[in-house]
Amino acid sequence: MKQGLEKKKLKEELSKKILNYFKKNKFNFTDLDLLIDTSLLTERSGEQFKKFTLTYKDLFGKEISLRPDLTVSTALKYIQEKKNKEEKYCYYGSAYRLDKDGDLKVFDQIGCEIINSNNNKSENILINSILEPLKKIKNLEVILGDVGLFKILIESLELPARWKLRLVKNFSRREYFEDMLKRLETNYDLDQQAIKLDTKRLKDLEKLDQSSLIGGRAVSEIIKRFNKKIKDPRDDYKGKRNVKIIRDFLNINTSIKKAESIISSFFSKNKLSNLSIKNYLKKISAIDKDIGKKYSINFKTNFGRNTDYYTGVVFLAYVKRNSKIIELARGGEYNGLLRTLGYKKDIPAIGGAINLNELINL
């Protein structure tokens, strides 16, 4: 009992201290709604949030959800208040998520978000703001990644548009993504027997009501995909080569200081033509210049795939205790999330949150 009260007091003191630091850095404190209209999540973003969101019906039969994520709640607040300029938010509260076994997990978080900024150093400001309260923790380590680099890589490969779209779209679905690579590597989609089977399926689908649904997709949409697949073949010898390039790219793990040169060299070595890669990598170097000397930062191209809505820079701060990784903070860019939730267009946004429970346990 006494220990519980001490933890509660410590949490209050610590959260107050961190919030004051955020406020000094011109982040405005905001109270976020605990409950969210489920339709705001599911009708606009499909299954993206539904899989881990706790929902129930109110007295009027309306489906309500406990907020699964404070970044999502902040984005919804920005939309509901009809903002159209830069906002710097900070917050403190709990997020409620279901794990893969259906058990409820509660996360006490304190964090900040920068939405719709024209400042090209927003990433540096946000990451530094989240890491600063943790800087005195012994053996603190940081992993940095950028899921936007994967999209640039895929665009530079000699692949049909449908394969590029599928690889980017399913980057966060690790098992399915791996299955796709195996199919690409073995030229499954060029197998004559498979093509015959696809052609037969197409003819069967054309006989159905085009507006009817199969697996949540309209028959017309499935037919369009089949047609694209049949009419957009690729050269069989490139499948294995492309998969090797993708796997090699996702194995890059280096210090942030070397990230720009290593990735640039990777593109050159594999004769991948993409004019935007050098400009894109400048933000990684800018982060290194601003905060690289303060922390031990590793850059991993395979990092950041566990959250569907991340679009660019992602980061994680952690410590190791008895061979166990303790996550203290994480965050990233989500430039497409607000449009997914109902905003009129894509706008730049980045956020991060500190896990108060783990921080106090240290």
Please give the chain's pLDDT, 362 residues, in tens.
Answer: 556 667 778 888 999 999 999 999 999 999 999 998 888 776 655 556 677 888 888 888 888 889 988 999 999 999 999 999 999 999 999 999 888 788 898 989 999 999 999 988 899 999 999 999 999 999 999 999 999 999 999 999 988 888 899 999 899 888 999 999 998 888 665 444 555 566 667 677 777 777 777 766 776 777 776 666 655 554 454 788 999 999 999 999 999 999 999 999 999 999 997 778 888 899 899 999 999 989 999 999 999 887 878 999 999 999 998 889 999 999 999 999 999 888 999 999 999 999 999 998 87
CA 163 from centroid of its chain's CA atoms: 21
- If you ran DSSP here, which 8-state letter would residue 137 be given? S
The kind and range of the H/E element at 325 are strand 324-333
Please enumerate in sequence order all residues whose Cβ is within 8 A of that of 176, keeping only pairs 6 or more positions apart, or say none.
170
β pairing state of 55-57 and 63-66: antiparallel
β pairing state of 296-300 and 313-321: unpaired
Q: What does pTM read for this prediction?
A: 0.82
Q: Using an 8 Å Cβ cutoff, are 310 and 285 in contact?
A: no
Tokens of 290: 């601003």
Q: Residue 226 has what pLDDT? A: 65
Q: Residue 4 has what pLDDT? A: 64
Tokens of 10: 């410590």
Tokens of 22: 């955020």
Residue 18 one-letter amino acid: I
Helix, strand, or coil (residue 296): strand
How would you classify residue 168: left for phi > 0, otherwise alpha for psi between -120 and 50, otherwise beta?
alpha
Distances (CA, A) of 343 to 88, 106, 308, 359: 17, 28, 18, 34
Alpha helices in the chain (DSSP H): 2-24, 38-45, 47-50, 70-80, 122-131, 147-156, 161-169, 174-185, 192-206, 219-231, 238-250, 256-269, 277-291, 337-340, 356-361
Give the torsion sign (CA, 265, 266, 270, 273).
Answer: negative
**From CA 123, how far away is CA 283, in angstroms rounded?**
8
CA 136 from centroid of its chain's CA atoms: 28
| Ordered strands of the 55-57 beta sheet | 35-37, 63-66, 55-57
**CA max distance for the chain:** 71
Q: Residue 191 has what pLDDT? A: 46
β pairing state of 349-355 and 324-333: antiparallel
Q: Using an 8 Å Cβ cutoff, are 105 and 76 in contact?
A: no
Report the C-alpha dihedral over residues 21, 115, 135, 143, rounded to 10 degrees: 170
Q: Using an 8 Å Cβ cutoff, are 66 and 54 in contact?
A: yes
Helix, strand, or coil (residue 84): coil
Give the torsion sign (CA, 290, 293, 298, 304).
Answer: negative
Q: Using an 8 Å Cβ cutoff, are 67 and 32 in contact?
A: yes
